[in-house]
Structure 1
Amino acid sequence: MTHILGPLLIVLVIALIRGSRGRTTRPSPAKAPPVRRAPVSFDAAAYGLAPLETLDPRRAGPPSPVRVRKESQALADAAWGGDWRSAAAHIEAAGNDWDEHWSRFELLRAVAHEDDAWLTAWREADPGNCDAAALEADMLVHRAWTIRGRGYADEVPAENMAKFRALLPAAIEAAQRASLLAPQNPAPWVVMVTAARGARYKPDRFQPLWDGLMASAPHHYEGHWQGMQYWCAKWYGSNKQMMAFAERAMDNAPAGSPLAGIYLHALNELEERRAALPSGAGAKKRLTAVIDALATVPADDDRLPVLRHLLAYHLGKAGMYEAALEQFRLIGPWCGAQVWSKDGEPTEVFHAARATAVEKSKAKPLPPHK
């Protein structure tokens, strides 16, 4: 079977993840804020920013290197051709770098979403492989969310909701069996933590799943994103519990980890619910700590661009315009992050936010290059 992966892979991964992250409660009505436009005279380049005409709203950061895209396509083609061993070797090569392991896990998920015959063959040939078993469980979770759809709960047909409710416990059971195959592998626990919300696990049932994940990978980024979702007010926690969770994740993260970004995502959850954002000296100190933490994250970490967009946005909301301006310089021409599209055309909103940062920080034009 021949497939074209490349851009399709990215679309599939995003669609699957968004499908499992759909809102189940409606935010309270609010008037859309007036769209602010940058002055026509604003010369972004004079302040070390990407010129307006170079802004790219198609993505939040630079595309993956051609080499990486070709390797992903080759891996997918091999799997679709029946070679599951290449997929097994690919994820095994991540070793104990569990964030990298999960990134490769998501790649295999996207490949299996297109055609999973190779995964079935892998499971049959090597039933003791934890990654294959966890991936099979993960596919059940995403199949459940595909059936449910991204609508609100009262918009989902009863038949679809019944199938959704039945698949998630089955996925958790499959992930529990997978966890026994390699206790040090966090992938099954991430699958369980992800499925727990839709499976209506109350905190007393969720906590053992979280403890299992923390025992194997205490700084797992995706696991913490899913944990933050569990503790937000639209699921089984509250704004206060969610923020406390995000702050703990950030405070316990080692240098080089992007976990400070969980705090930024938590701020977005507050905005979605029309809740007040943290303010005052403590809030600014926390955002300064996020700046410092993200400065230690490797530049090629593909989570970093989106986090820089969120950071620039929330620095602006907090009135920390000089710090926001520095983030805009680091972001470059990429303006396709969702945070800029919620209030209008992303290029326009992004450019206006940069102009505001320059104006409010009273920045001076940089000396011209000689």
Structure 2
Amino acid sequence: MAFLSSRRRRARLALALDDAALSRLLKTLQATTSTGTIATTDLCSAQISRLLDQDTDDWDRRSHQISVLAYCLSDSHVPRAWAAREPGNASALVLSAWAQLVRARSEGRLEDGAAVAESCFQAAELAPEDPTPWVVLLGLSRLERRNQSEVFGLWNEVLARDRWNREAYLNMLAYLGPEEMGSRIQVLDFVDAVRARAPENAPCAATELTAQVMQYQSVLTLGGVEALMARNHWSHAPAAQALDRAARTWARPGFLHHAAALADLNLLAYALIAAERRSEARPVFEAINGTVTAWPWRVEGDPVTEFEKARNRAATGL
């Protein structure tokens, strides 16, 4: 992660976070797809393959890169066309499945869940050690509201390959919440288990704080008196303690080193500002160095605008 120098960097949304290679690829893909040439799929798939083949055993980095590519290409024909042309390519199959999942979440309906699952199972056969096909299957099972025994089975498949997979933990957190197939008690039990077992700087380290921010925002979005009282959430012991643990270490140089570390620092900065702990937020904003994630800032308005307002409050104490 880059840290703030004497000059404050202008805030900007960056899906790639601090992954320079992924950022360059996104720009290249945008330029390539805008040409509208017949060879677009071949060009894009070659560019994507080049990136994904670099660190084939860094599952954390691979999950981050494929998730970002799936989001950016969810409305493109490229992922499906690539998978159709190279049915023996695990990366092509997973990207196609993940992109369809992203699109389904956006539209509120899944076009062909069986085809998505089949792509994942084929990818899993081609690359048995890769957790990403199972991550997509886990996300698919959430969307389809599958029963907990089936979901936990997929969860165990991910963990057998990548013990602290960030995307898998966040999927389980959402699935176990009262908005989906669980309850507040199940969320608390899950968070307690993660905190007891996971290293403090694991890729899934933000699971506990994510749960607290989700609960805070669920009250905030109610509006009215409830929204006015939402800030009291951070004075309750579970929320305050989760924030204490993260604020103590996360912003230290090199402490968080997983691919989505900057996303977790955005979460921490947001929570500290919401809790009126502005002096503690200042070094977190310095560590972020202007790299903004859409969530959690988007809940209260334009993410970049909300980030800038919060950063200014941390800097001035107002």
Shorter-chain TM-score tier? 0.7 to 0.9
Residue number in structure 2 paired with 1:262:
207
Q: What do residues 125-156 of structure 1 show as CA deviations (whole Å, max 9, x unaligned)?
A: xx2x33233233323323433543xxxxxxxx
Residue number in structure 1 paired with 2:76:
114
Q: Does residue 269 of structure 2 align to residue 308 of structure 1?
A: no
Deviation at 1:197, TM superposition (A): 1.7
Deviation at 1:214, TM superposition (A): 0.9
- Distance (Å, rounded) in 2 between the aligned partners of 1:130 and 1:192: 14
Greater Rg over alpha carbons, structure: 1
Deviation at 1:196, TM superposition (A): 1.0
Deviation at 1:97, TM superposition (A): 1.0
> Taking structure 1 as reference, are residues 237 and 143 closer, same or farther at Cα in structure 2, changes over 3 Å only?
same
Q: What do residues 243-265 of structure 1 show as CA deviations (whole Å, max 9, x unaligned)?
A: 43234334433364342222222
Within 5 Å, give how 1:166-177 maps onto structure 2: 167-177=112-122
Within 5 Å, give how 1:324-339 maps onto structure 2: 324-332=281-289, 338-339=295-296
Q: Secondary structure at the match of 2:126?
A: coil
- Distance (Å, rounded) in 1 between the aligned partners of 2:241 and 2:311: 26
Residue number in structure 1 paired with 2:185:
240
> Taking structure 1 as reference, are residues 234 and 122 closer, same or farther at Cα in structure 2, changes over 3 Å only?
same
TM-score by structure 2 length? 0.72
1:255 touches 1:296 (CA, 8 Å); kept in 2?
no
Structure 2: unaligned runs, 5 residues or longer: 34-38, 220-229
State, as a whole percentage, how many aligned pairs show the same letter. 22
Within 5 Å, give how 1:59-98 maps onto structure 2: 59=13, 69-74=23-28, 77=32, 80=40, 82=42, 84-85=45-46, 87-98=48-59
Residue number in structure 1 paired with 2:147:
202
Q: What do residues 92-127 of structure 1 show as CA deviations (whole Å, max 9, x unaligned)?
A: 32222101111332355345753323332122xxx2
- Distance (Å, rounded) in 1 between the aligned partners of 2:17 and 2:97: 30
2:60 touches 2:165 (CA, 8 Å); kept in 1?
yes
- Distance (Å, rounded) in 2 between the aligned partners of 1:133 and 1:90: 16
1:341 touches 1:349 (CA, 8 Å); kept in 2?
no
Within 5 Å, give how 1:129-278 maps onto structure 2: 129-148=89-108, 161=109, 164=110, 167-254=112-199, 256-274=201-219, 277=233
Residue number in structure 2 paired with 1:354:
314
Q: What do residues 256-293 of structure 1 show as CA deviations (whole Å, max 9, x unaligned)?
A: 43422222221221023228736455543332322345
The one-letter amino acid of 1:284's match is A
Structure 1: unaligned runs, 5 residues or longer: 1-47, 149-160, 360-370
Q: Secondary structure at the match of 2:206?
A: helix
2:202 touches 2:258 (CA, 8 Å); kept in 1?
no
Residue number in structure 2 paired with 1:289:
245
> Taking structure 1 as reference, are residues 348 and 122 closer, same or farther at Cα in structure 2, changes over 3 Å only?
closer
> Taking structure 1 as reference, are residues 198 and 169 closer, same or farther at Cα in structure 2, changes over 3 Å only?
farther
Deviation at 1:167, TM superposition (A): 2.0
> Taking structure 1 as reference, are residues 107 and 317 closer, same or farther at Cα in structure 2, changes over 3 Å only?
closer
1:178 touches 1:188 (CA, 8 Å); kept in 2?
yes
- Distance (Å, rounded) in 2 between the aligned partners of 1:118 and 1:62: 22
1:306 touches 1:337 (CA, 8 Å); kept in 2?
no
Q: Secondary structure at the match of 2:179?
A: coil
Q: Secondary structure at the match of 1:277?
A: helix
- Distance (Å, rounded) in 1 between the aligned partners of 2:237 and 2:271: 14
Q: Does residue 65 of structure 2 align to residue 104 of structure 1?
A: yes
The one-letter amino acid of 1:205's match is E
TM-score by structure 1 length? 0.64
- Distance (Å, rounded) in 1 between the aligned partners of 2:67 and 2:261: 17
1:141 touches 1:167 (CA, 8 Å); kept in 2?
no
> Taking structure 1 as reference, are residues 61 and 190 closer, same or farther at Cα in structure 2, changes over 3 Å only?
closer
1:169 touches 1:199 (CA, 8 Å); kept in 2?
no
- Distance (Å, rounded) in 2 between the aligned partners of 1:61 and 1:136: 19
- Distance (Å, rounded) in 2 between the aligned partners of 1:231 and 1:249: 13
Residue number in structure 2 paired with 1:38:
none
1:144 touches 1:168 (CA, 8 Å); kept in 2?
no
- Distance (Å, rounded) in 1 between the aligned partners of 2:21 and 2:123: 32
